[in-house]
Amino acid sequence: MRISVIGCGYLGAVHAASMAKLGHEVIGIDVDERKISELQAGRAPFFEPGLPELLTEVQETGRLSFSTNMADAEGARVHFVCVGTPQRKGENAADLTYVDAAFNELFPYLNEGDIAVGKSTVPVGTAARLADLAADKAPGAVLAWNPEFLREGHAVKDTLTPDRFVYGIPAGPAGEAATAALDEVYATPLADGTPRLVVDYATAELVKTAANSFLATKISFINAMAEVCEATGADVTALADAIGMDERIGRKFLNAGVGFGGGCLPKDIRAFMARAGELGADQALTFLREVDAINMRRRTRVVELTRELCSGSLIGKRITVLGAAFKPESDDVRDSPALSVAAQLQLQGATVTVTDPEALANAKVRFPELAYEPETKTALARAHALVLLTEWKEYRELDPAAVGNLVDDKNILDGRNVLNPTAWRDAGWHYKGIGRQ
Ligand code: UDX
């Protein structure tokens, strides 16, 4: 099938390459010329494990091409809109400028029987509004909403073998046509048994925001427990292991630490609260305000714990922050807790060096005032304290004895609870974790 993918960021680039891998003929379109020329050359414009290999593999088949011209979408039967919905400046609500622009530019190129599919995370009601516009500007085409649940760092696997497909469609024959087209697009994973749910627009939009709200709540729940553990001397990691053994709870997403960040969870819970307010249902989501507050409090707490590690004062202390990305296996620094803490430490008088295997270029753009060092060994040299905030494998596997020979003072704050406290203490380190003794 001929497919177009509008927007080639973390979501769209992976989606385009994955659809070509499934055997379709795909055109990826983006307004960013740099991104498109990188993709045309078979290079991933951001760090995502497996994406460079996938791009090389599918480009050899000739089934994947890229363009900055929306007119090149014409002739495709299914058009996926994968543009971003960031938080509006100074507000909680989502900024729909890019979604609206993408659909409005696409409409003139839609032909009878085409399916325009939104994949972006949008406030509930957006699809119905766009369907009304489509009826006027692209009669004969059908609008569907097919939310994406991929995690950065696992995007290729999550796209090719997702947990489930959700199709938000209109009632009647138009909806049946959209379902049939999407079934054809996803024929391979569907044949392998991936479940698919066919629902109305509003439910499809809400599935995505509800899922992200649940995940954010789970993380803030365990971080609230970490606060209680800190007040009582209990150990939040052992607590998470024990409650996670209850199948109804599950151990995943119960890792206490510096909290969640990234381009999705923080802005999605805020946009959800804003939308609920518009709908007169704000009371239903007031708990998300608390989820957000617990999450932000973790960052302040990590700064305080670092000050304690540094004998009560950050002034003049050389602090090495291990990690800049919002999570490992990603170069994404949007709302990264690691960078937010690094900036706070620096503002409070410390001399901060940030290191990260992949995210330093992006970090420099966001926080040019911080010092960055790509070599871990160099970054660790002569530090008074280490603060581990993104749990890359190479930091989880640091040897406490070897690192001890590089630093000036053996202080470490494990902001993700991924190190073995006994091993570090036995090597002479002053170790602090989150919600644990
Ligand atoms: C998330 C959703 O998981 C995904 O389904 C959706 O499509 C987009 O948003 P992503 O932002 O890539 O994906 O990252 P995720 O793995 O969910 O992690 C989000 C944040 O939570 C990270 O900062 C991570 O470090 C943090 N986290 C995660 C914790 O602090 N503790 C945990 O136990 C798990």
- Residues 53-78 have pLDDT tens digits of 999 999 999 999 999 999 999 999 99
For the annotated binding site for substrate, the residues are 149-152, 208, 253-257, 261, 327
Mean pLDDT across the stretch 366-387? Answer: 98
Q: Which of 8, 82, 229, 264 is catalytic?
A: 264
Query: What is the CATH architecture of 206-437?
Result: 3-Layer(aba) Sandwich (3.40)
Q: Is residue 156 within 8 Å of residue 48, measured between CB atoms?
A: yes
Residue whose pair of structure tokens reads 């970490």 in the numeric block = 226
377: tokens are: 């060994």
229 an active-site residue?
Answer: no
Per-residue pLDDT band at 250 (split at 50, 70, 90): very high
Please tell me the residue having the least CA distance from ligand 1 atom 33: 253
Name all residues whose Cβ lies below 6 A of ligand 1: 148-152, 212, 215, 219, 253-255, 257, 259-262, 264-265, 326-327
Res 437: pLDDT = 82
Q: What are phi and psi of 76, to 5 degrees?
A: -75, 155
Res 314: pLDDT = 98
For 175, residues 6+ apart whose C-beta sits below 8 A from its C-beta are 142, 144, 169, 198
Task: Report the nearest atom of ligand 1 relative to the CA of 256.
Answer: 31
Q: Is residue 340 within 8 Å of residue 306, measured between CB atoms?
A: no
Helix axes 337-347, 286-309, angle to 10 degrees: 50
Paired with 27 in beta bridges are 4, 65
Q: Is residue 207 within 8 Å of residue 199, measured between CB atoms?
A: yes
Centre of ligand 1 from the C-alpha of residue 260, in Å: 6
Centre of ligand 1 from the C-alpha of residue 428, in Å: 33
For 330-339, how does the pLDDT look when each residue is reduced to its tens digit (9 = 90+)?
A: 999 999 999 9
Res 226: pLDDT = 98
Buried b (16+ CB within 10 A) or exposed e, 88-114: beeebbbbbebbeebbeebbebbeeeb
**Top mutation candidate among 164, 260, 335, 339 for ligand 1, by most atoms within 8 Å of CB:** 260
Residue whose pair of structure tokens reads 């991104």 in the numeric block = 35
- Residue type at 58? V
What predicted TM-score, i.e. pTM, was given to this entire model?
Answer: 0.97
Centre of ligand 1 from the C-alpha of residue 387, in Å: 20
Q: Where are the domains of the chain?
A: 2-199, 206-437
Per-residue pLDDT band at 230 (split at 50, 70, 90): very high
| CATH T-level topology, domain 2-199 | Rossmann fold (3.40.50)
% of the chain at pLDDT higher than 70? 100
Inter-CA distances, 419 with 51, 249, 310, 397, 434, Å: 29, 24, 19, 8, 11
CA dihedral 363, 368, 373, 379 (to 10 degrees): -100
**Top mutation candidate among 265, 326, 334, 341 for ligand 1, by most atoms within 8 Å of CB:** 265
Is the pLDDT reported for residue 193 higher than 90? yes
Instruction: Quote the CA–CA distance of 343 and 132 in Å, as a whole number.
Output: 45
Q: Is residue 8 within 8 Å of residue 30, measured between CB atoms?
A: yes
Res 203: pLDDT = 98
Residue whose pair of structure tokens reads 């009371």 in the numeric block = 283
**Top mutation candidate among 120, 151, 205 for ligand 1, by most atoms within 8 Å of CB:** 151
Average pLDDT value for the chain: 98
27: tokens are: 């055109």
Inter-CA distances, 23 with 19, 61, 162, Å: 7, 9, 17
Alpha helix segments (H runs only) across 22-67: 33-40, 51-61
